[in-house]
Amino acid sequence: MHKTRVILDTNFLMIPEQFKVDIFEELKQLMDTPYELCIFAATIEELTKISSTSNKDKPAAKVGLSLIKQQNLKILPNSFKNTGGEEHYIDAIILNTAKSSDIVCTQDKDLKRNLKAHDVKIITLKIRKRLGFA
């Protein structure tokens, strides 16, 4: 049976700590077809980087990293290498890899706009407490 690929962006994995929302329970309620939760390897790299800084997102990044392990998310290989100058590296990977059959979970406004232009479905946090399709 075909499963819909649901790709989680870095900022989406920080929602549980930042907004106290159980994104996995919310996704179960939202999805009406079989799905597989995925992240790109770059998401782990980005969360690791954030969790080693002393900014306000450090605790959320640490929770995001632990959720990846707990939820046994499928890790997809990065579709291209970061040349160092790519500020939004993970966004570029998602944009270049996501198909119209995929669903991308993100809070990033630019990424959402670009995904909509490519007819990719988006799930985002609504009014800081529920997930919904954008």
pLDDT of amino acid 23: 98
pLDDT of amino acid 81: 78
- Residue 124, phi then psi, degrees to nearest 5: -140, 170
- Residue 43, phi then psi, degrees to nearest 5: -65, -40
CA distance 67 to 6: 15
What CATH class does 4-133 carry?
alpha beta
Domain boundaries, the chain: 4-133
Per-residue pLDDT at 55 exceeds 60: yes
Both structure tokens of 40:
């790109």
Whose CA is closest to 51, among 43, 39, 42, 59?
Answer: 59
Both structure tokens of 126:
């609504």
Q: Decide if 79 contacts 94 (C-beta within 8 A).
A: no
pLDDT band at 63, cuts 50/70/90?
very high
**Which 3 state secondary structure label does DSSP give 7?**
strand
Whose CA is closest to 110, among 126, 98, 95?
Answer: 95
Strand 130-133 with 121-126, pairing: antiparallel
Per-residue pLDDT at 82 exceeds 80: no
Both structure tokens of 6:
């649901």
pLDDT band at 2, cuts 50/70/90?
confident
